[in-house]
Amino acid sequence: MPGRSEPSALPSIALRGYGDSIWLEGWSVLLEQKGTRRRIPLPAIEGARAVGAGQGSVEIAVWGADGAPGPVFVVEGRDAGQAGRLVEVVNRARPKSAPDGGGADLVEVLAVVQAAGRKRMSPRERVASLAVLMLYVAGAALLGLFGEPVQVLLWVLGALPILLGLVIVGPAVVNARDRWVLRKRGVAVVALFDRAHGRRRFFTYIDLEGGVHEIQADYAAKGLAGDPPRIDVLYDSLHPEKAVCSLARSTLVWRAVGVGLLGGLLLLVGLSMTLLPLAFLAVS
């Protein structure tokens, strides 16, 4: 009776933790923690076990060298059943003896994503922001000296709809500008699904030079030919890390209409509340 053939790869079990992830791919364990992704091949693993409250987390111990313990990686998860399945598969498939020199040298760091720091304003943006603030304060002071209390109140409250309108219109204008630029120098590629955090989906694509880049998928991005793990992406040939998801023309039109109506209405209301008091003061 012929024996059962060995699987060509491990089952692709995944455990999503609190910002961290661990999954099986090929004959390796891939682990992502705090922006660092590592590949730990099975020969490097001394053992795996479920740990933490409710046994929902996974601990991966790597073989040490010369009798010293090796590094240990822990992913804090939330699904005890999934953690148990992952641990069982890893312990069943891993070699039972340590490689020469231990397993630490076999662990690969695939990517390190720096946490996005606070974006600093350019000198031009700082000057523009300061000018707007000074204009706002000067307008309030002018109305306070020569205007009516109602006019001062309208001026002060008018800043809120203006800010809300800019929050809606600003990103849409930037996105439209990027899409316009990419019409001229964009390169169309297919991006493959990589991971998900909550409702956010992340895909990776490879540029013409072989560089690997990541993009967060637009919620309206459709799978290529009905295949959800693949989407169309257009990246900037001069800056390959900048890309947008290809969207249906009808989606772009409806978005433009929605942004124009809502954002434009808020801006109109806010400008009316701030400019009309100044107009009344000028003619009085």
Query: How confident is the model at residue 121, as a pLDDT?
Result: 63
pLDDT tens readout for residues 70-123: 999 998 888 888 899 999 999 999 999 999 888 999 999 886 654 444 556 667
If you write DSSP's letter for every residue of 218-277 in order, what string do you get?
PTTPPPBTTBTTEEEEEEESSSTT-EEE---HHHHHHHHHHHHHHHHHHHHHHHHHHHHH
The residue whose two tokens read 């974006």 is 119
Distance (Å) of CA 240 to CA 174, 185, 217, 272: 18, 11, 16, 42
Greater model confidence, 230 or 197: 230
Residue 39: what pLDDT? 92
- Tens of pLDDT, residue by residue over 174-208, are 888 888 888 888 888 888 888 887 778 899 888 87
Number of Cβ atoms within 10 Å of the Cβ of 170: 12
Q: In what order do the strands lie in the sheet with 200-206?
A: 212-216, 200-206, 186-197, 230-236, 243-245
Q: Report whether 87 contacts 29 (CB < 8 A).
A: no
197: Cα separation from own chain's centroid: 8
Q: Write the CB contacts of 136 (distance below 8 Å, at least 6 apart in sequence).
A: 159
- What predicted TM-score, i.e. pTM, was given to this entire model? 0.48
pLDDT of 153 above 60: yes
Residue 100 main-chain phi, psi, to 5 deg: -60, 130
- Residue 180's contacts (CB-CB under 8 Å, 6 or more residues apart) are none
